[in-house]
Amino acid sequence: MRHGIKLSKKQSPKTDEELKNIPYASTVESIQYAVQCTRPDVAYALSVTSRYQSCAGEAHWGAVKSILKYLKRTKDIFLIYGGGELILEGYSDASF
């Protein structure tokens, strides 16, 4: 989500017809799947937009679309952990 975007219930549509054909909830759920599996970098933006699933307006839909655009732009950027073999070390205290 872009810096400075403020979402609120005041931006919700006055009638249910205004966003009837926009798949807001299913899009947010799809982003949630990506966050859980591979993209924790958009977790905060997703948490903000998921607050408005029952009363989403044009501003909310715009924020969700900006998350999708970000995911598309950064699909080839990822984290690589490691570089060496994983070594497991354990410690215990037996003086109890």
Residue 64 to residue 67: CA distance in whole angstroms: 5
Predicted pLDDT at 54 = 77
Q: Is residue 38 classed exposed, middle or buried when 0-12, 13-18 and 19+ CB atoms within 10 A define those classes?
A: exposed
Dist CA 20 CA 16 (whole Å): 6
* C-alpha distances out from residue 4 to 7, 44, 75, 85, Å: 10, 14, 24, 43
Structural domain total, the chain: 1
Which residues form the domain of 21? Answer: 1-96
pLDDT means per 10 residues, the chain with 96 residues, are: 66 68 86 87 89 81 91 85 81 81
